[in-house]
Amino acid sequence: MPGDGAGQDLGGQPRGVALVTGAAQGLGHATALRLAADGFAVAVNDIADDGRLTELASRIGGIAVPADISEPAAGPAIVEAVASRLGPVQVLVANAAAMAMSPFLESKPDDWWHQINVNLSGHFRLIQAVIPGMRARGHGRIVIISSGWGVIGHPNATAYAASKAGLIALTKGLGRELGPQGILTNAIAPSFIDTEQLRVDADDAGITLEEMRQRYREQVPIRQLASPDDIAAAVAFLAGPGSGAVIGQVLQPNGGVTRTRA
């Protein structure tokens, strides 16, 4: 029963303002739709607007705030733009990510820093920018999209895994530091999700999309890929009224990938 709010004390009230980064496609896109369905006013961010961001914003009655979060000035500017047009950010979904795969010894320093700058430092600055508003209201939710690879690592993805593991440590530290102020920080560690990225992966591997899906399924104990909606539902839970005692946790809706070999 996604999005029906069953079992939650919605009271028919608007739920506040949510900001989702990396929302042009995939799970960021699904998350924006879900949070809007759950009653949030949603601001959507991605590195640039090629039309998809504006289209999403207009579909959900929200706003588009395109910007490259790896730019130091972007975080405060995004948060200020959202505050002036929708109101202060009550829920931040830190989802935008860069990934470049290569064997460790062949990894270029620029690729390393780009992934750290977007995934980790970009969200560090964005979080710093949203905290004053959350603190003033004594309420806020920060949902950080980490990765199964941030939990168990992955060959040829050391920078990405390090950035995502860094986000888990950030989650735990912020959980402890901000919890007493009513700001709850948690993370989600998905693994294989059926998004547009699979087409890219399939092309890289020279196989069909369905063959790619099957290859990934075999790495998941439950033999299923997550849908973007599955991850959006986890975000909705962490952003919603039912998760008020969940703090500093890492939710792992990944079919068992991170605990065991498939």
Partner 1 sequence: MTPGATDGPVAVITGAASGIGASCAGLMRQSGWRTAGIDLNPSDTDLSAQADVSDRAAVTDVVDQAALRFGQIDLLVSAAGYYEESIDVADVTLAQWDRMLAVILGGTVNCCAAVLPHMLRRGEGTIVAISSELALGGSATDLHYVAAKGAVLGFVKSLAMEVAETAIRVNAVAPGPTDTPLLAADSLWRKPDYLATLPLGRLVTPKEIAHAVYYLATEGSMYCGEVLSPNAGAVI
Helices (H), 100-253: 109-115, 123-137, 148-152, 158-178, 197-205, 209-217, 228-239
What is the DSSP annotation of 148-160?
A: HHHHH--TT-HHH
Q: For residues 99 and 151, which CB has a smaller minimum distance to partner 1 in the complex?
A: 151
Q: For residues 26 and 175, which CB has a smaller minimum distance to partner 1 in the complex?
A: 175
Kindly state the smallest distance separating residue 244's Cβ from partner 1, in Å. Answer: 6
Kindly state the smallest distance separating residue 261's Cβ from partner 1, in Å. Answer: 10
Contact 36, 62 (CB under 8 A): yes
Count Cβ atoms below 10 Å from residue 12 Cβ, excluding itself.
6
Q: For residues 127 and 226, which CB has a smaller minimum distance to partner 1 in the complex?
A: 226
Kindly state the smallest distance separating residue 38's Cβ from partner 1, in Å. Answer: 12
**What's the rounded Cα separation, in Å, for the pair 77 and 238?**
25
164 is known as an active-site residue: yes
**What's the rounded Cα separation, in Å, for the pair 257 and 262?**
7
Contact 70, 122 (CB under 8 A): yes
| Mode of pairing for the β-strands spanning 41-44 and 17-20 | parallel
> Of 108, 160, 172, 216, which is the active-site residue?
160
Q: For residues 98 and 233, which CB has a smaller minimum distance to partner 1 in the complex?
A: 233
3-class SS of residue 234: helix
> Of 108, 164, 172, 216, which is the active-site residue?
164
172 is known as an active-site residue: no
Q: Which residues of the shown chain bind partner 1 in the complex (CB under 8 A)?
A: 1-2, 6-8, 172, 175-176, 179-180, 221-224, 226, 230, 233-234, 237, 241-249, 251-256, 259-260
Q: Which residue has the tokens 């605990």?
A: 259
Kindly state the smallest distance separating residue 22's Cβ from partner 1, in Å. Answer: 20
Kindly state the smallest distance separating residue 151's Cβ from partner 1, in Å. Answer: 12
Q: For residues 72 and 221, which CB has a smaller minimum distance to partner 1 in the complex?
A: 221
3-class SS of residue 69: coil
| Residues involved in catalysis | 160, 164
